[in-house]
Amino acid sequence: MNTLFNILIDGLAYGMVLFVIAVGLSVTLGLMRFVNLSHGAFAMVGGYCAAWLTREAQWSFWLAVPVAIAATALLGAVLEALVLRHLYRRKELDQVLFTIGLSFVLIAATNAIAGPQVQLIVLPPLLAGSVDLGFRTLPAQRLLVIGAGLAVAAAAAWTVTRTRFGVWLRAAVDHSGTASTLGIPIRTVQCASFAAGAALAGFGGILGAELMPLEPYYALKYLVLVLVVVAVGGMGSIAGSLAAAVLLGTIETASRYLASEWGSLFFFVAMAVLLAWRPNGLLKR
Amino acid sequence: MNPTRRTLACALLAASGLALAPVQAQAQSTAVKVGVVGPFSGPFAHYGALFKAAAEAYVATQGGKLAGKDIEFIYRDTGGPNPGQTKTLVQELIVKDKVDYLGGFVFTPNALAVAPLIQQSQTPTVIFNAATSAITEKSEYFIRTSYTLWQVTVPIAQWAAKQDMKKVVTAVTDYGPGIDAEAAFKAEFAKQGGTVVESIRMPIATTDFGPFVQRIKASGAQAVYTFLPGGPPNLGFVKAYNENGLTKAGVQFLGTAETDEFDLQKFGDSALGLTTAFHYSGAHDSPENKKFVDALKKRDPAAVANYASVGAWDGMHVIHKMIEATGGKKDGAKALAAARTLQWESPRGPVRIDAKTRHITQNVYLRKVERVGGQLVNKEVQSFGPHGDYGLDAK
Amino acid sequence: MNHPTMTHPVQAAVAVAMPLQPAQSAPRCAPPWRAPLLLLVAGLAACAAFPDQLGLITRIFITGLFVLSLDLVVGVAGLATLGHAALFGLGAYAAGIFALHAHADPLLGLGVGIVAGALTALVSGAFLLRYQGFTFLMLTVAVSQIVLSLVQKARNWTGGDDGLSGFAMAPLLGRFAFDLEGKVAAVYSLVVLVLLFYVAQRIVQSPFGLAVRGIHENRARMAALGTPVFRRLWLLYTVAGALAGAAGALSAQTNAVVGTDSLSFALSAEALVMLILGGAGQLTGALVGATVFTLLHHTAASINPYHWLFVVGGLLMLVVLVPPAKAWAWLRQRAGGVR
Question: Residue A182 sits in a domain of what CATH number?
Answer: 1.10.3470
CA dihedral (B307, B308, B310, B311) in degrees, to 10, reads 110
Sequence-distant (6+) residues with CB within 8 A of B51 are: B36, B38, B103, B104, B128, B308, B309, B311, B312
Alpha-carbon span B367 to B190, nearest angstrom: 23
Neighbours of chain A (3+ CB pairs under 8 A): B, C
User: Which residues in chain A are closer than 8 Å to C276, comparing Cβ atoms?
Assistant: 93-94, 96-97
pLDDT of residue B389: 85
Alpha-carbon span A184 to B299, nearest angstrom: 62
Minimum Cα–Cα distance from C318: chain A residue:
A98
pLDDT of residue B27: 42
Mutate which: A7, A119, A207, A210, vs B, most B CBs within 10 A: A210
SS3 C129: coil
The answer to whether A253 contacts chain B (CB < 8 Å) is yes
User: Which residues in chain A are closer than 8 Å to C272, comparing Cβ atoms?
Assistant: 96
pLDDT of residue C324: 61
User: Which residues in chain A are closer than 8 Å to C273, comparing Cβ atoms?
Assistant: 97, 100
Confidence of residue C246 (pLDDT cuts 50, 70, 90): very high
What sign does the CA torsion over B243, B247, B253, B259 have? positive
Distance from CA of B115 to the nearest CA of C (A): 9
Alpha-carbon span A16 to A246, nearest angstrom: 6
Q: Where in the sequence is the domain holding A57, given as residue range(s)?
A: 2-277
Reported residue count of chain C is 339
Mutate which: C130, C138, C156, C318, vs A, most A CBs within 10 A: C138
In a shared domain, residues B66 and B156: no
Q: Identify which of B193, B215, B189 has the alpha carbon closest to the alpha carbon of residue B202.
A: B215
Beta bridge partners of B35: B74, B102
In a shared domain, residues B108 and B230: no
What percent of chain C has a predicted confidence (pLDDT) above 90? 56
Confidence of residue C2 (pLDDT cuts 50, 70, 90): very low
Pairing status of strand B69-77 against strand B32-38: parallel
The reply to whether residue B96 touches residue C53, judged by beta carbons under 8 angstroms, is yes
Q: Identify which of A194, A281, A172 has the alpha carbon closest to the alpha carbon of residue A237.
A: A281
The answer to whether B201 contacts chain C (CB < 8 Å) is no
Counting one residue from chain A and one from chain C, the pairs whose CB atoms sit within 8 A come to: 116
Nearest to A263 among C153, C315, C320 (CB): C153
CB C289 within 8 A of CB C279: yes
CA dihedral (A263, A268, A269, A271) in degrees, to 10, reads 150
Q: Tell me the HSE value of C60 on the side-chain side, using a 13 A CA sphere.
A: 28
Residue B356 DSSP one-character state: T
Domain for residue B226, yes or no? yes
Q: At what angle do helices A2-32 and A238-258 cross, to 10 degrees?
A: 140
Distance from CA of B50 to the nearest CA of C (A): 16
Domain for residue B77, yes or no? yes
CB C71 within 8 A of CB C216: no
Domain for residue A282, yes or no? no
Nearest to C56 among B1, B83, B88 (CB): B88
Specify the pTM: 0.88
Alpha-carbon span B372 to B264, nearest angstrom: 13
SS3 B363: strand
Instruction: Tell me which amino acid residue A105 is.
Output: V
Query: What are the pLDDT digits (tens) for A102-111?
Result: 998 998 899 8
The reply to whether residue A275 touches residue C142, judged by beta carbons under 8 angstroms, is yes
Residue A281 gets the label, from left (phi > 0), alpha (psi -120 to 50) or beta, of: left
Confidence of residue C198 (pLDDT cuts 50, 70, 90): very high
Q: Where are the alpha helices (DSSP H) in chain A?
A: 2-32, 39-55, 61-82, 92-114, 125-128, 140-162, 164-174, 176-181, 186-207, 218-221, 223-233, 238-258, 265-277
Domain for residue B142, yes or no? yes
Q: What is the largest CA-CA distance in chain A?
A: 59
The reply to whether residue A116 touches residue B208, judged by beta carbons under 8 angstroms, is no
Minimum Cα–Cα distance from A1: chain B residue:
B218
In a shared domain, residues B260 and B379: yes
Confidence of residue C253 (pLDDT cuts 50, 70, 90): very high
Domain for residue B218, yes or no? yes
| Cβ-based burial of B248 (10 A; exposed 0-12, middle 13-18, buried ≥19) | exposed
CA dihedral (C124, C130, C131, C136) in degrees, to 10, reads 10
User: Which residues in chain C are closer than 8 Å to A97, comparing Cβ atoms?
Assistant: 273, 276-277, 316, 319-320
Sequence-distant (6+) residues with CB within 8 A of B52 are: B36, B73, B75, B300
Alpha-carbon span C22 to C24, nearest angstrom: 5
Alpha-carbon span C74 to B211, nearest angstrom: 40
Nearest to C161 among B96, B113, B175 (CB): B175
Q: What are the DSSP calls for C254-305, one per residue? A: HHTEE-GGGG-HHHHHHHHHHHHHH-TTSSHHHHHHHHHHHHHHHHHHHH-T
Distance from CA of B202 to the nearest CA of A (A): 6
Reported residue count of chain A is 285
- Touching B: C residues 150-179, CB under 8 Å: 152, 159-163, 165-166, 168
| Cβ-based burial of C81 (10 A; exposed 0-12, middle 13-18, buried ≥19) | buried
Alpha-carbon span B52 to B41, nearest angstrom: 13
pLDDT of residue A132: 79
Higher pLDDT, C1 or C291: C291
Residue A90 gets the label, from left (phi > 0), alpha (psi -120 to 50) or beta, of: beta
Domain for residue A41, yes or no? yes
Please determine, for residue A238, whether its predicted confidence score (pLDDT) is greater than 90: no
CB A213 within 8 A of CB A100: no
Domain for residue A226, yes or no? yes
Ramachandran angles phi, psi of B252, nearest 5°: -75, 150
SS3 B99: coil
Residue B386 gets the label, from left (phi > 0), alpha (psi -120 to 50) or beta, of: beta
Beta bridge partners of B359: B144
The answer to whether A257 contacts chain B (CB < 8 Å) is yes
CB B394 within 8 A of CB B183: yes
Instruction: Tell me which amino acid residue B47 is.
Output: Y
In a shared domain, residues B167 and B253: yes
The reply to whether residue A275 touches residue C150, judged by beta carbons under 8 angstroms, is no
The reply to whether residue B4 touches residue C161, judged by beta carbons under 8 angstroms, is no
Q: What are the DSSP calls for B8-76, one per residue? A: HHHHHHHHHHHHHS--S-SS---PEEEEEEE--SSTTHHHHHHHHHHHHHHHHHTTSEETTEEEEEEEE
Mutate which: A90, A113, A268, vs C, most C CBs within 10 A: A268
Average pLDDT for C252-281: 90
The mean pLDDT of chain C is: 87
Sequence-distant (6+) residues with CB within 8 A of C144 are: C82, C83, C84, C85, C86, C263, C265, C268
Higher pLDDT, A160 or B286: B286
Number of domains in chain A: 1
pLDDT of residue C6: 47
The answer to whether A259 contacts chain B (CB < 8 Å) is no
| Cβ-based burial of A199 (10 A; exposed 0-12, middle 13-18, buried ≥19) | buried
Mutate which: C165, C178, C319, C332, vs B, most B CBs within 10 A: C165
Average pLDDT for C207-227: 92
Q: Where in the sequence is the domain holding B165, given as residue range(s)?
A: 149-278+364-392
User: The CATH number of the domain where B84 resides is what?
Assistant: 3.40.50.2300
In a shared domain, residues B129 and B166: no
Beta bridge partners of B378: B369
pLDDT of residue B5: 45
Q: What are the DSSP calls for B274-291, one per residue? A: -EEEES--TT--SHHHHH
* Low pLDDT (below 70) residues in chain B: 1-29, 393-395
Alpha-carbon span B280 to B305, nearest angstrom: 9
Pairing status of strand B360-372 against strand B349-353: antiparallel
- Touching C: B residues 159-198, CB under 8 Å: 174-176
Please determine, for residue C4, whether its predicted confidence score (pLDDT) is greater than 70: no
Nearest to C251 among B84, B112, B204 (CB): B84
CA dihedral (B112, B126, B124, C99) in degrees, to 10, reads 0
User: Which residues in chain A are closer than 8 Å to B215, comparing Cβ atoms?
Assistant: 257
| Cβ-based burial of A195 (10 A; exposed 0-12, middle 13-18, buried ≥19) | buried
Mutate which: C50, C148, C162, C183, vs B, most B CBs within 10 A: C162
Query: What are the pLDDT digits (tens) for A32-75?
Result: 778 888 999 999 999 999 999 998 888 888 899 999 999 999 99
Domain for residue B19, yes or no? no
Domain for residue B11, yes or no? no
Nearest to C146 among A235, A268, A275 (CB): A268
In a shared domain, residues B115 and B40: yes
pLDDT of residue B127: 95
In a shared domain, residues B251 and B388: yes
The answer to whether A212 contacts chain B (CB < 8 Å) is yes
Domain for residue A283, yes or no? no
Q: Identify which of B204, B39, B196, B50 has the alpha carbon closest to the alpha carbon of residue B110.
A: B39
In a shared domain, residues B232 and B216: yes
Q: Identify which of C197, C187, C195, C245 has the alpha carbon closest to the alpha carbon of residue C58.
A: C187
Pairing status of strand C257-258 against strand C164-165: antiparallel
Higher pLDDT, A179 or A176: A179
Please determine, for residue C26, whether its predicted confidence score (pLDDT) is greater than 70: no
CB A16 within 8 A of CB A212: no
Alpha-carbon span C305 to C11, nearest angstrom: 53
In a shared domain, residues B161 and B238: yes
Distance from CA of C181 to the nearest CA of B (A): 6
- ipTM surpassing 0.95: no
CB B387 within 8 A of CB B361: yes
The reply to whether residue A103 touches residue C313, judged by beta carbons under 8 angstroms, is yes
Number of domains in chain B: 2
The answer to whether C260 contacts chain B (CB < 8 Å) is yes
